[in-house]
A and B are shown apart, each in its own frame.
Chain A
Amino acid sequence: MELDINKLENDFQARIDAGENIEPKSWMPEKYRKTHIRQISQHGHSEIVGMLPEGNWITRAPSLRRKVGLLAKVQDEAGHGLYLYSAAETLGISRDELFHQLHTGKAKYSSIFNYPTLSWADIGAIGWLVDGAAIINQVMLTRTSYGPYARAMVRICKEESFHQRQGYEMMLTLCAGTPAQKEMAQDALNRFWWPSIMMFGPRDEESPHTEQAMKWKIKLKTNDELRQQFIDITVPQAEILGLTIPDPDLKWNEETGHYDHGPIDWDEFWQVVKGNGRCNKERLGARVKAWDDGEWVRDAAMAFAEKKEKSKEAKKAS
């Protein structure tokens, strides 16, 4: 028996090493399954909770064109949540259980969404930086070993890059606008820069799961590599906008061919992860409220479907 498991695990790893996709019906180590449920659901929850900070500005969007753009964007995120929950379901967990884990705090979501959106420029900054950071992570995940996850990522990446362009274009408009608009844009960058680069997670030394995740191709690059990639892409974009990135230590390093950055406040990061960010309670509270308020609706839909099914059967029988 021991031997069998060893052989299965070796074959499994060989498939991954050969670049094959793992599909729902394939044999997989229990830990692989659990790790994927955790990561895919965490990703799905981030899409859903991520609707809230941006949703916060839908009713106050400054023009009809922007309102429609934002509504459609937030709706896309709901769609991403759906794809990801479906991918998680292929690993044998129900959507209700996934929600239960989110609502009880057992499952996490990206900490970036625990920061408040205080001005319209935050909507631009989120598209530019947060969707921008998400893409870097997600492009990598299109090559992840678990088939349903990789395929969900391909669909999602197309929309995320549209979101990123839309957000950047909003920032361009603000920066070409009145002094008040430009100030709003700078203020948004000041508040969202550090949380955005924290999105890639803790430093490699403090990321214990990285090695296993890379072996299974859940990760193809480390947190620090992805973070560096994001910074290298984003700094020139900020220059085009004429905005200053709030890091006095940020500078181009000829030798490495990358930007060096100042120290990240990891205390803040862990505080937000633990639930002590500025909006943790509001964000989770809003999700729980939507779920609780919706219970009678979901019950009604279920009861109605059952009644319809029964009357169909009765018709067949008669």
Chain B
Amino acid sequence: MENKLYDYILSLGDNSLILGHRLSELCGHGPSLETDIALTNISLDLYGQVRNYFQYAAELAGEDASEDSIAFLRTDRQHKNVWLVEQPNEDFGHVICRQFLFDSFHMPLMKQLCESKDERISAIAKKSIKESSYHERFSSEWMKRLGAGTEVSNQKVQAALDHLYPFVNEFFQETPLDKEMKENGIGGDLPAIKEVYFKNVHALLLEAGLTIPEPDWRQTDGKLGYHSEHLGFILAELQYMQRSYPNSDW
């Protein structure tokens, strides 16, 4: 049981870790100072969540495990995040669209996890939910701005949406671990979130003047540890110091 709980916590934390990393790449390069600051804020919130999850996971793992050994010393196959959060910052349209598609999932998940039978997970969710609702508001507002702003912005955010939409399916792919965690009252109920998700997302896309994509393929394996080529490069940067200077305090 402890092992499964550990894996489940990592599956929650890894999405925040990788998305936080992607957003942190943008710090200093945003389209305006205000958006730069806002995106960095989101990155900081996500890293705050990561630390809470990984500190808890490290306690469960015992021995020499720490938030940093979990964050910096795992192979790509040991990461449980979905492909969506690995996708690069092609342009501001991709950044916002990726964020919106993630927040629309993350918010209802946090709502459910507030009721988790695991007290620590529930506490983390209660803390995260305020942040997530701010993120969701930010990304939704920007989806509307870009969708309804100019012809160029509409085209750009539509292109981002078309590219990213096939990845959302993965959120709702129930692994055996997800099922078990749902049944024992610790984890989220993915099929239930799926219903809310598409209802909300579709409504916002229509309001933003965007076309809802109908992808003919759907991404599946990230949660099982099979990732895009992007993840290897993310980890190469993320882990560079810990791998080059093992067993050091920073």
Residues in A lying within 8 Å of B, measured CB to CB: 48, 51-52, 55, 58-68, 71-72, 74-75, 78-79, 81-82, 85, 120, 170, 173-174, 177-178, 180-181, 286, 289-291, 293-304, 307
B27–A297 CB distance below 8 A: no
CB contact under 8 A between A300 and B152, given known A59-B238, A60-B237: yes
Q: Which of B40, B41, B68 contacts A63 (CB 8 A)?
A: B68
A296–B54 CB distance below 8 A: no
Chain B 231-250 interface residues, beta-carbon cutoff 8 Å to A: 237-238, 240-242, 245, 247-250
A68–B51 CB distance below 8 A: yes
- Interface check B25, CB cutoff 8 A: yes
- Shortest B234–chain A CB gap in Å is 8
A68–B41 CB distance below 8 A: no
Q: Which of B67, B241, B250 contacts A173 (CB 8 A)?
A: B250
CB contact under 8 A between A286 and B29, given known A60-B238, A62-B241, A300-B150: yes
Q: Is the interface of B mostly helix, strand, loop or mixed?
A: helix
Q: Considering only CB atoms and an 8 Å cut-off, how many residues of chain B contact the other chain?
A: 48
A64–B71 CB distance below 8 A: yes
Q: Kindly state the separation between the CA atoms of A220 and B196 in the bound complex, as whole angstroms.
A: 62
Q: Which of B48, B144, B238, B249 contacts A304 (CB 8 A)?
A: B144
Could you list 25 A-B pairs, sorted by A, with CB under 8 Å? Answer: A58-B24, A58-B27, A60-B237, A62-B72, A63-B72, A66-B250, A67-B24, A68-B44, A74-B40, A75-B27, A82-B33, A82-B34, A82-B37, A180-B248, A290-B29, A293-B92, A294-B30, A294-B92, A297-B92, A299-B153, A300-B153, A301-B149, A302-B149, A303-B153, A304-B148
User: Smallest CB-CB separation from A62: which chain B residue?
Assistant: B241
- Shortest A85–chain B CB gap in Å is 8
B33–A81 CB distance below 8 A: yes
- Interface check B35, CB cutoff 8 A: yes
Q: Which of A58, A120, A291, A301 contacts B241 (CB 8 A)?
A: A120
Q: Kindly state the separation between the CA atoms of A52 and B149 in the bound complex, as whole angstroms.
A: 30
CB contact under 8 A between A72 and B149, given known A62-B242, A64-B67: no
